Each structure stands twice: as structure tokens, then as C-alpha cells.
Chains A and B, each alone.
Chain A
Amino acid sequence: METSIYSVLAFYVLAAVILGSAILVVSMRNIVHSVLFLAICFIAMAGLFLILDAAYLAVIQVLVYAGAVCIMIIFGVMLIQRTDMKQSNLFNRQTFMAGGVVALTLAVSGFFAGTTAWADLAANTPVPEDSLGQIGQLLLSKYVIPFEVAALLLLVALVGAIVLAKEVKANVDD
């Protein structure tokens, strides 16, 4: 990672965009606008990965998260029962629940941010040229079990979706 004035500047701009759009995701009343701001948030996060020379992660971020935003919008639009889109993403009163979740998240990420030896990480490991190949190697050797478990999970979801879709069809035929 280079620490020139430009990358520092880029970091602050991206951080502002990420935080701003994330807040807008929550505060927008129209769910379509919320989800589009979510796409902006994801793309800006891909920018953060680019600053860290993690091009592969950046592309995955765009392909998987920002690319899948459309599907999310479709679900949002299809599941929402209100006729007026301006009231499709309202606030609720579950302040305690939300506060608890936020506090827990902050505590966990704060703990890990505090315990990670950032200075060693930055000093000892220069970013490899071919990060893609190394990720592939690690994924199929050291982390093969989580990888396979994730694959199994997706398979279960796929089979579940097919079963659900089939059931609806059978009812129509009766």
C-alpha cells in the first residue's frame, strides 16, 4: 500500500461516500432509492480495496454485491405491499434492538481492530503481484473445508428454491 498524499485523499473521499450513502440507505423513505444508494456504497468499498492493492477483492465486491443489487430491488418491489413508494421504507420504534445490535457490532469490530498488529502487517507483508493465484491456492488447501461448506450451503439453498417453485406449480395443476 502506498501512502502518498493522493491515496490518503482518496481514502477520505471514499470513506465520506461510504458513510454518507450508508446513512442515506437507512434514512431514505423510498426503498428503491435506498437500494441504489446501497449500490453506491458497495462500489465505493470496492474503491477502498483498490487502494489496498486488492484488485481481485474489489472486482468481487462489484460483481457479487453491486451486481446483485438489482435482484434485491426486484425482491423489494415485489414484496412491498404499499401502493405509495414514498412510504415503502419507513422507520420503526425498535430502538433498543437496533441500539443493542449496533453496540455489539461496534464492540466486536473495535476489539479486533485493537488486537490486530497493524504495524507488523503493514511492514512485513508487501502485497504480492499475483494475489489471485494465491487466494486460489489458499482457498483449495488451507481453507478448503469452509469453502466446501459454503458450496454445500449454496446447494441447499438452490435445492430449496427448486422445491418451493415446484410446489407452487403442482398446486396450479390440481
Chain B
Amino acid sequence: MLENLFTNIAGLLRNLLDSAGVPPLWNDVTLLVVKLVAILVFILINALWLVLMERKVAGYMQARIGPNRVGPWGLLQTTCDIGKLISKEIPIPKSADKILFLLAPALVFVPPLMIFAAIPFGKDMVALDLNIGLFYVFALASLTTIIFWMGGWGSNNKYSLLGSMRVVAQMVSYELPMILSVLGVIMLVGSMNLTEIIAAQQNMWFIVTQPIAFLIFFIAAVAECNRTPFDLVEGESEIINGPYTEYGGMGFAMFFLAEYASIMIISAMATTIFLGGWLAPFGLTFIPSWLWFFLKMYVLIFVVMWFRWTFPRIRVDQLMGFGWKILVPLSLANVFVTGIGMYIYRAIGW
């Protein structure tokens, strides 16, 4: 019952439209739109609550309580914050490139939504089951760089410009080890379909067979969403707030929430590729598959937040050196070793 909760809802909707005499094509389109809107709402609500989670995690790690005034256990704190930000004016600097400046926060949620459309949340729960799912995700993730750059450039402020230069340098550099690290998994599965990658982890999660790839992927992914220890992009002590310096009100809030959306994406991706996706470990199938997916995802999100309150920020030259001199060679070596390992296994006849 609970296992097929969402697939049943989708089936019910499909039957309802069928009985209303809607042609199959429009039926499919309506269903897809409903799924995408559901995912969008899910992302937005999650981003909202993850801000609270971050503050609570930070609070407990620093031996304090965190927000606890608005609502029970501070649960409505971020809702209030966003309410305040919506009601504020969005100041536009006089010399800003107005179109780019306003377009950037409006577009910043497009790539996360499109990426989430391809992620399998549970058994038979994927809005777009693509043959090249993994590649699709990376392609869209690479587009976020342009949007951050648009915001930073459009502000026409030197700190924004410095920040957006750092965004491009950092995100382009860390994209390479991220894609290369996943190559080992693709070699083992022989497919880029996310559903098949999950199915291949039926007996063994890839974090066990590809531990180095997981480490590289996770580090590079944290750098991709500009989180500590890679938050040079918005290093407050150096360049105020990087690309978002000139933004106020909801423009700022969109970037702020988008950061949490990208944390969700990297956690969901790492779950899908390395932690078995929605597969239940140790045969604990009485917990529904989608719940397993979210459980794993939130554990990884917690780890990302844990990073933030544990590690200091690294320097720009260290960032580039670490990416190009350590992560890239390591991920290439991982591909090489995986290839040799596959041949040996085949020779043994496993």
C-alpha cells in the first residue's frame, strides 16, 4: 500500500483522464506536467526546510539551540524569513545590466528542476526515464555556471565580478573529476540509465566496489555547489558575498534556496550512483523504497552540512591545485584500475 503510494496516485489520475475521454497524448503530457509540478513543489519546500536544518545542525554543533521561537521547535522560522524577503524591494543598482541582473535569479531553479525530473525517487518513480540519464544530469548541471555568472556580471560590482570569475573557474574545474569518477560506475554497469545503475546495485552498492570514485564524486560535487570548504565564491571575509552581493529581497532568496536545491541534487545523485538509490539494504523491504531513497539522501545532506561546520575555507590556489593535481589524476587512475579489475574478473570467470 505505502510502497506504491505515488505510483497508485499517478495510475488513478491516468484512469481518471482516460475515463474523461482525454486522448492518450494529452493524457501523457498532463501526467508529466503534474509530476514536474510535484517535483518543483517538493524542491521548494525542501529547500525551505533545509535552511532550518542547516541552522539547527550549526546550532547543535556549536552547543547552542538554534532557532526555536517561531512555531514549535522553530519549524516556521524559515517560512517567516522567506515571507519577509518576498515583501522586500529588490534594489537594482543604477549601473547594472538590468535584464541579466533580473534574469539570473529567475532562471536559477530551472536546472535543478530539470535534473530532478530524471532521478528515480523510488520503484517505478521516475518522471523521465532516460537512456542517457547520467549524462543528462551532468549536462544540465554545467548550465548552472552560466546563471551564476549572469548574476555576478549583471550586478556590475567588482566583488560580484570577482565572485563570478571564481564560480566559473571552480565549477568548470571540478566538473571534470566529477564526470571522470562516475566513469568507473558506468563501466561496471554498461549503461547510463539511472534505473539500470540502481538495478545493478541489487547485491552490492557501488560505494563498496568504487570507494575512491565515491570520495572523488562527493568532494567534487560539494565544490560544484559552492559549499564550505569550497565556498570561495562567496567568501564573506574576502569578497562580501560574491555574485550575490548586489541582490536583495527575493532575488537573494532565490540564490540562497538554489544552493539548497543543489545540495539536494548532489545528495540524490550520490545516493543513486553509489548508495543503491531506492534499494533497501539487508532486505528491509517493509520500509517503502521512496522512504529509503529520502533516508539516504538526507544522511548525505547532513554530511554536507557537517562539512560546513567542521572544515575551514581553502585558498584559491589550493582549490585549483587540489582539483587538477589530485582529483583528476586520481579519477583517471580509478578508471584505469576499474578496467584492469574488470578484465581480471572476466578472466577468472566470475
Q: Do A and B come from one complex?
A: yes
The closest CB in chain B to the CB of A131 belongs to B131
Is B136 in the interface zone, CB < 8 Å from A? yes
Contacts A71-B168, A71-B172, A132-B192 given; does A59 touch B146 at CB 8 Å:
no
In the bound assembly, the distance between CA atoms of A130 and B175 in angstroms comes to 26
Proximity bits, B94-122, A CB within 8 Å = 1, else 0: 00010010000000000000000000000
Beta-carbon contact of B136 and A70 below 8 Å: no
In the bound assembly, the distance between CA atoms of A129 and B142 in angstroms comes to 26
In the bound assembly, the distance between CA atoms of A39 and B143 in angstroms comes to 9
Is A15 in the interface zone, CB < 8 Å from B? no
Beta-carbon contact of A56 and B135 below 8 Å: yes
Beta-carbon contact of B145 and A132 below 8 Å: no
Is B90 in the interface zone, CB < 8 Å from A? no
For chain A, the bracket of interface size reads 20 to 34
Beta-carbon contact of B145 and A59 below 8 Å: no
In the bound assembly, the distance between CA atoms of A79 and B84 in angstroms comes to 42
| Contacting residue for B131 out of A36, A69, A71, A132, CB 8 A | A132
In the bound assembly, the distance between CA atoms of A151 and B279 in angstroms comes to 39
Contacts A55-B132, A56-B132, A132-B131 given; does A67 touch B145 at CB 8 Å:
yes
Is B140 in the interface zone, CB < 8 Å from A? yes
Beta-carbon contact of B139 and A62 below 8 Å: yes
Would you give the shortest CB distance from B286 to chain A, in whole angstroms?
36
Contacts A70-B172, A71-B168, A71-B172 given; does A62 touch B130 at CB 8 Å:
no
The closest CB in chain B to the CB of A78 belongs to B165
In the bound assembly, the distance between CA atoms of A34 and B141 in angstroms comes to 22
In the bound assembly, the distance between CA atoms of A89 and B136 in angstroms comes to 33
Is A14 in the interface zone, CB < 8 Å from B? no
Would you give the shortest CB distance from B196 to chain A, in whole angstroms?
11
Would you give the shortest CB distance from B231 to chain A, in whole angstroms?
19
| Contacting residue for B135 out of A32, A39, A59, A70, CB 8 A | A59
